[in-house]
Every structure is written in C-alpha cells, then in structure tokens.
Structure 1
C-alpha cells in the first residue's frame, strides 16, 4: 500500500513547505542547523583533544615513575 515517494510528490511537498514557511524562515532554519552541526563537530574534536592530552599526561607520569625506579636500582 505504501510505496516510496516519487520525485513529483517530493516537489509538491517542498512547494507546500515553502508556501507555508517562506524562504527566509527556511534559509534561517538551514543556517541554524548548519551551525548546530558545526558546533557538535567542534565539541567532538575538543573532547578527543582533551582525552589525548589526558593520555599523554598519564604516559609522562608513568615514564617518570619508571625512570625513578630504574635510578634506585
């Protein structure tokens, strides 16, 4: 009963959406969505950077402890 939506049907739906909301609102919505995606990507990148900094710090502490133990021997 329900099949995939064809191209003419998509165009009609798009035309109705443009008539209801207007092009300025849709443009603003697109801009806001793009900004949200960019912010999400930046936050993910910052989280990865923070995690790698923590790992680097832990590795440095471990190396320092190992070198102290070797100096004692």
Structure 2
C-alpha cells in the first residue's frame, strides 16, 4: 500500500491558509504531522508537531486522530 492511501483526500492549503487556520483554532482541534527525519525535526520544527518519519507512517498511523484535520509537512 502506498502511504498516500492512508489519508482521505482533502483540500490543498497554502502555508498562509494553514497559518490562518491555526490562528483561528485551538491546538487540540487539529494535528501537525512532521514526516521528515529525526535530525531535521530536532534541528527545527513547528511547536506541537508530531514526528512520524515517512518510512514509519504506515506502522504508526494509529497515533493520529482520524477525526481531526491533519496538516502534513
């Protein structure tokens, strides 16, 4: 299975649209998913982001709440 099949297709949003969404909602209302490598995450990441490297996503998909909007970077 392709990792892209793990997500329901949604609207593509620009970085500014995501920033606006985050500003208008509480942090617990959405999820930030960082799919980069741990060293990249340690160097810099968006506060509150969950690190699940892309290679681990299939095995760890259960850590995400399917009822919340998820922003992936």
Specify the TM-score bucket, using the shorter chain as the normaliser. Answer: under 0.3
Q: Which structure's residues are more often helix, by fraction?
A: 1
More strand by share: 2
Higher RCO structure, 1 or 2 (CA under 8 Å, sep 6+): 2
Q: Which has the larger radius of gyration?
A: 1
